[in-house]
Amino acid sequence: MPMIQRNRPESDARRLTYTHAGRDNHRVAPTLSNREIEVLRAWFMCNSKSETASQLHIALGTLNTHLARIRAKYHAVGRPAQTKAALVARAVQDGIVNLDEL
């Protein structure tokens, strides 16, 4: 299934500042909807997509659509995340989840 990318105004992304090795760095984070954040966090806490879909009371296809849109948003700001591990890393970097929750 091809990924659909939409052109979004600059205001749809937020800029994060973090410090690494004494330097300030700037990272653009995509603007995820509350539902996308809810789906992402639930998926991180579950062992499978089917378990996550069941917990959220949605179809597996709907879950996959949410994840595809989240990945597309990260790709659009130059921070691709093609694997679950990469999405976890982005979520930690962007303050969506912290390591103690995982």
Looking at residue 71, which CATH number applies to its domain? 1.10.10
What whole-number distance in Å separates Cα of residue 27 and Cα of residue 11?
Answer: 14
Residue 24 confidence (pLDDT): 44
Q: Mean pLDDT across the stretch 53-62? A: 98
Residue 40 confidence (pLDDT): 97
Domain count for the chain: 1
Residue 1 confidence (pLDDT): 37
What whole-number distance in Å separates Cα of residue 39 and Cα of residue 35?
Answer: 6
Examine residue 99 and state whether it is found in any structural domain, yes or no. Answer: no
Residue 43 dihedral angles phi and psi, to the nearest 5°: -65, -40
Nearest to 70 by CA among 90, 53, 50: 90
This prediction has a pTM of 0.75
CA 85 and chain centroid, separation: 11
Examine residue 85 and state whether it is found in any structural domain, yes or no. Answer: yes
Residue 27 dihedral angles phi and psi, to the nearest 5°: -130, 135
Examine residue 100 and state whether it is found in any structural domain, yes or no. Answer: no
User: Residue 22: is its pLDDT beyond 50?
Assistant: no
Q: Which percentage of the chain shows pLDDT scores above 90?
A: 68
Task: Of 1-10, 11-20, 70-79, 84-93, give the lowest mean pLDDT range.
Answer: 1-10
Residue 4 confidence (pLDDT): 36
Residue 30, classed as helix, strand or coil, is strand
CA 13 and chain centroid, separation: 13
Examine residue 25 and state whether it is found in any structural domain, yes or no. Answer: no
Q: What residues make up the domain containing 85? A: 34-93
Q: Mean pLDDT across the stretch 12-25? A: 47
Beta bridge partners of residue 27, listed in sequence order: 16
Residue 101 confidence (pLDDT): 83
| The two structure tokens encoding residue 69 | 């849109």
